[in-house]
Structure 1
Amino acid sequence: MIDLWKEWVGRRWNAEARFLNLERMNEDEWLKRHRLLSPASPDAKKEPQVVFKIASKLKPEVETISLAHNNLVSGAMMTTLAHYLPKLANLSLEGNRLSGWKELDNISGRRGRLSQLRELVLVGNPIRELEYKNNRAQQYKSEIARRFPSLEILDGEPIARVGFDAPALSTSTSTRPHNMLSTFAFQMQPSLIAGVDGPMVSNFLGRYFPLYDQQRGALLDVYAPDATFSFSANTAIPPRARIEGIHVSKEFPNQRKLEWAPWLSGGLGGSRNLGRMTGSLQKVTQSLHLGGEQAVKAMADLPATRHDITGAPEKFCVDAFPIYQGEKPNLLVTVHGQFTELPSEGIRSFDRSFVLAVAPEGSRARQNDWQVMILSDQLVIRAYSSFEAWRPGPMRVQAGDLLPTPALLEVLSAVPKPQRYLMQDLILRTRLNLQYAEDCLKNNDWDLERAMANFEQVKANLPADAFLPENAFMS
């Protein structure tokens, strides 16, 4: 049977073009003659995996695959595509019936990302055609670009990238990657900087924050004439910080010196916390600053700060990717981190979101060597909570949650991604040892929720040595 599949794959393989043609498989007479089930059939289970595994042995390596015109309603057949062909550069899904974003999760999601995909074709699928029909073409392109950061060509057209000229040298003092905050339901993942050169982002931030700390008036150059700026203060102490006792700890003696009044009423308009403005139109209007001059004046009226951007990089996380305003791509940059407030020397956390555009020739920003100008700047100041929130791996969100010890993490590091994260999640939820956790996931097709349901059914019959000891975890 395997020999038959190898022969069929060979018939479909163009070594010179490094192209595997898997189009119209349901109509393939050779498969029918040899009584082989089409990998594109809704009844196919192992057939796609067999084909992709055989394809992974081809020489030279497969660069392009076409799954066009296979009447695919679900993306299930692509579940193992990234596992066997992780370096795939070009993929055509033209003329299928894929209609939901979840169908692309098999090649764009955490469990099966085609991280080096350069070109994707979705023409003829409802997921694309309906978006175009409803005048949502840009939202479609943006959604695809977000899911596939490496993508350069979509449906035969270049992906619109933010057109910055990257500098030859970065002013960033650190070459270590930042870490990106993810949703609490999943493990923290590395930073996502897509659709723009990383050095451009670090250069902007590396210049912006020292000026914000030392010479806010000089920032007038980088704000567009019609830029907007606002800030809001969240005075509540985050639950995790309260659990850890940060604000009463002797390790943070200056936290008690901090006052919220300068943030709530300062900045020539006060905090723009819309949830607390209860119909005050004047307050809403005054707290949104229009134009670069008003933005800089408002910032000058806020407390002095010190952002240690040349220190430990893990204290900050950065996320950057293109967003569209009509047909024009701009850049959204979000920063999460901490700063020291002066003169108290207390620490606060912050979130800052910039919308950036290419600085036009002749603009004030370009004349002062800024590659970009700021269209929008939103600042949120929060009570300090440690940067553990975006450390890669699991995050404790309430007292009592288990975390793995460094020793357990080291053992898990030998497991390839994405299986490593699934095993870690299962182990933290069940305390199973590595062997049993792997068996449980394998027997449930690496579906975490199915594995958990399976565990609940059999846990009473498991031997004691199926579980890790207490000292394998940090409580």
Structure 2
Amino acid sequence: MMAASSSHRPRGLASKTLKSAGLISRDEDASMRDLSQGSSSGRKKPAKKIGHRQRGVDLYKASGTSDLSHKMLASRISANLSNPLAVRGAALKPAIIRPGSSATRVSQVRTLDVWREIVQKRYNPEAKFLNLECLADDEVLKKHNITPPGLPGSNHKEYPVIFKLASQLKPPVETISLANNNLQMGTHLAPIAHYLPNLRNLSLQSNKLKSWRDLDYLAGRNRKLGLLRELIFLDNPLRDQEMNAGRAEQYKSGMSRRFPSLEVLDQEAITKISFVDMPVASSSNSGPSDESGPSSFPLPMAPSFITGVDGSVISGFLARFFPLFDSQRSALIDAYDPSATFSYSAFTTIPPRARLQGWHTSKEMPNQRRLEWGPWLKNDAGGSRNLNFIGRGGASGAGLDRELRSLHAGPTAIVTAMSHLPKTHHEVAGAADKFCIDAWPVGQGAATMLFLCIHGEFTEEPSRGIRSFDRTFILAPAPPGSTAAMNNWAVTILSDQLTVRPYSSPDAWKAGPMKVQGEGKLPRQHATPRRTPAAQQPFLAPEVQAQLNVIPEPQRSLVVTVCQRTGLNVRFSVDCLDNNGWDIERAVANFEQVKPSLGQEAFL
């Protein structure tokens, strides 16, 4: 009994001390005695697990003690906790400030005030410009020992706070610079579009953004900066990587696709065509429609542009070149200068306009599905010289070899390369509206040359499908005594570049307002009907056309054909046909026999 009574005395003494301090009640004292007595075996029952240890402050709040007790507890809590006997001789652990405590909230309020001061201090209301460059060097942040976001040890959640404070500025912010802030992740940028959706200008220069995904945080479906006019992205790994790889155009395209309203990128204007909505006829019976009306380019499309050169030179060259290219390519060897080059590129992607208009699935043009790209892409002469795709086929050495083999130099190599291409038929005899010609002189003095570009279409044999093409020549006057001059070519070809692509309508160069694709689908158009020779407008110079107009059909078409195949002028072509019973093949054969004896006056 003595041992038992002695063991209870410390507990009784502690209970009285706690009760006198107002930290426990009598009921709690009784529960302490019950636990201390426990079972007769002397073993303690397992303690019931609780979420946390009760503190004196918690007991005080639950007990509802008097104001005097409040003052006593407040004085004990605020005492020097470094002294373990500060509270009635009870040993206390050093205080720990936990998240959510009043001390943390005080710190957060203080940090918020610091950021508010910085945002207001760095804002220029006249220019509506918020300068957040080089935050690591900000003296206010250094003074309060705050690490700006983007640096090691910083709190990435502070950027939403910054942009929310920026959204409260008056007048509203239009320009923000975040240059030189060590930004490495697009997640830092996401709050910009949320809090500042009407931002006009943004600088992200000299940061560490590495992928397109980082920019998608700004340009995502729900976070687009729809009014962004200028973006500076210089000195970021993503831009440097694209530029060093020679993908400058792809880089600009990627930016424009993510920010459609962008006008200036990296301090350079973006070349783009603005669309002007045209009025749409309304009807009282028509209801509202989600499809926008047609749009047009701000400037009307003009017809062929020829300046600084006699039109007869161009018409004479084209009227002779294309028929020979279609029927007798080997005869073109005389037209090429000894140092001339030739190459061609095949682009297989159907243009969006042509796809929407259904040119390649139209019942009016059933042969389009029979066309094949294989003979154009690869052949024994080196194949297509599309430099965007040559390097993708394997090692760099193989790509370089194909580049060299697909560039043909010298008349013999050029004619040999042409012989490997599919047979064609250019309907230049009377389809002037299907072709667009641009020509002007280049160079000066004795080095003056002629730039000539033709856009049009041809029929490919044997499928009878139609393709579109662009062909660019650099021509020079045929030197006296040269092969070209001796074979009655007024000019010689220095360079010949051919681009073959899927068919698209000649409406692209039709004079007048040019309709373009808007948000809605383009209306389905019917294929241009194939004209009869009587209805066609000759693809010749005006003076030649005047001579042809006095010749009745069907003789007129025969004369035009002979002019194209031989280069003879109208008078000599009529004589040639008349002397050969108006048989084209006999007339051409007769021409080849007497050709050496003909003078320059016999040709166009």
Q: Which has the higher contact order (CA 8 A, sep 6+)?
A: 1
Specify the structure having the higher radius of gyration (Cα): 2
What's the TM-score, normalizing by structure 1? 0.45
More strand by share: 1
